[in-house]
């Protein structure tokens, strides 16, 4: 079975080389690396500095400009360049934790006939803060599962949860379902997963497929990220209308606070309150972005280029 890996890249460096190196050592070999690079000159200036053999021979690079880059459309273009049975989407700042990542993802993807996508468990980096470390364990537990439409009453929006930080797609079903939405600020993975669930397919969470990925966002960055998250939900009421996500956020805050108290980290509670407040304010602003002036929107978002063609 052929497995291709699609990776959007901007400003490639040592971390990207480490990602390629770890992917080349996988027990499930990569048939082809499909790189969606933003800004051709940045890639060329970097590539000429590399020693011979630093990049795999089975690597194809496609270039887009910063203005052309789109979370959904750019990844969709990459998958459509593939002829493999499985396409794995990754980000260039994520690293396989071991040599079995692709094997475990593929195994989960074909564990049942109704599965359309499988996604990996994200582990925190060594330098990850305590609060973000707990958030990773909350969103990516140790137990694998397959989510279907029957889980909606109990899991709500988490039924659709999926992450293109590291996710494997059955290419035939990806194409059958129309692929990622072409123009979106964020959340192309969840929007696709929701479409798959509504069509009767399952979303597999592969807890044994381990990838290292985390961020130490500042409160302002938390605000902007949740603003964009809420914009994606406001733009797609066909997916998110009637499914509240605030409850899951409240549960995360409560459980994180309990974890900090239990582990004698009460001094981090003010940071938790601050981060949570900025997240919620960003979420509320994003939900109501159509009522905001364009200048304010551009200050609230992480993805300014998205708004160049967006009519508010």
pLDDT tens digit string along 261-306?
999 999 999 999 999 999 999 999 999 999 999 999 999 999 888 8
Residue 22 confidence (pLDDT): 97
Q: Which two tokens mark 277?
A: 């407040």
Task: Look at residues 234, 222, 220, 226 and name the one whose alpha carbon lies nearest to residue 310.
Answer: 234
Q: Is the pTM of this model over 0.75?
A: yes
Torsion angle (degrees, nearest 10) of CA 117, 26, 216, 11? -100
CA distances from 32 to 3, 19, 41, 76 (A): 7, 14, 23, 16
CB 97 within 8 A of CB 212: yes
Cα 160 to Cα 206: distance, rounded to the nearest angstrom:
15
Q: Which two tokens mark 80?
A: 């459509």
Beta-strand ranges (E) seen in the chain are 3-9, 32-38, 59-64, 86-90, 95-96, 115-123, 145-147, 166-170, 202-212
Residue 280 confidence (pLDDT): 94
CA distances from 293 to 51, 180, 210, 278, 298 (A): 49, 29, 42, 20, 9
Helix, strand, coil tally for the chain in percent (to 5)? 50, 20, 35
For 126, phi and psi rounded to 5 degrees?
-60, -35
| Residue in the block written with tokens 């593939």 | 82
For 70, phi and psi rounded to 5 degrees?
-145, 135
Q: Which helix (H) or strand (E) holds 295?
A: helix 294-300
CA distances from 116 to 146, 173, 236, 277, 299 (A): 10, 6, 21, 36, 37
For 82, phi and psi rounded to 5 degrees?
-90, 155
Strand partners, 37: 9, 63
Q: Could you count the other beta carbons within 10 Å of the beta carbon of residue 297?
A: 20
Residue 243 confidence (pLDDT): 74
pLDDT tens digits, residue range 60-96?
999 999 989 999 999 999 999 999 999 999 999 999 9
Cα 233 to Cα 105: distance, rounded to the nearest angstrom:
27
CB 6 within 8 A of CB 34: yes
Residue 53 confidence (pLDDT): 87
Residue 309 confidence (pLDDT): 66
CB 58 within 8 A of CB 31: yes
Segments of the chain scoring below 50 in pLDDT:
none
Cα 133 to Cα 152: distance, rounded to the nearest angstrom:
27
């Amino acid at each position: 079975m052929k497995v291709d890996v699609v990776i959007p890249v901007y400003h490639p460096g040592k971390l990207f080389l480490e990602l390629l190196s770890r992917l080349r050592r996988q027990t499930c070999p990569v048939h082809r690396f499909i790189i969606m690079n933003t800004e051709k000159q940045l890639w060329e200036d970097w590539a000429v500095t590399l020693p011979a053999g630093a990049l795999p021979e089975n690597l194809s690079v496609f270039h887009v400009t910063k203005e052309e880059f789109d979370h959904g459309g750019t990844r969709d273009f990459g998958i459509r360049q593939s002829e493999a049975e499985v396409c794995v989407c990754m980000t260039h700042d994520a690293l396989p934790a071991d040599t079995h990542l692709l094997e475990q993802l593929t195994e989960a993807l074909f564990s049942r006939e109704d599965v359309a996508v499988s996604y990996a468990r994200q582990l925190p980096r060594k330098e990850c803060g305590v609060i973000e470390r707990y958030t990773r364990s909350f969103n990516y537990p140790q137990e694998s599962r397959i989510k279907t439409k029957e889980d909606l009453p109990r899991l709500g929006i988490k039924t659709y949860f999926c992450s293109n930080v590291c996710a494997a797609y059955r290419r035939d079903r990806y194409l059958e379902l129309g692929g990622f939405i072409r123009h979106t600020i964020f959340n192309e993975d969840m929007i696709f997963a929701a479409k798959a669930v509504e069509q009767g397919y399952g979303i597999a969470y592969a807890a044994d497929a381990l990838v290292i990925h985390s961020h130490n966002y500042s409160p302002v960055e938390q605000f902007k990220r949740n603003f964009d998250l809420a914009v994606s939900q406001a733009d797609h009421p066909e997916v998110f209308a009637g499914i509240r996500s605030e409850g899951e956020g409240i549960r995360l805050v409560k459980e994180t606070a309990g974890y900090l108290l239990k582990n004698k980290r009460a001094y981090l509670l003010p940071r938790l309150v601050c981060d949570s407040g900025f997240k919620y304010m960003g979420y509320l602003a994003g939900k109501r972005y159509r009522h905001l002036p364009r200048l304010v929107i551009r200050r609230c978002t992480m993805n300014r280029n998205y708004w160049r063609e967006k009519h508010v």
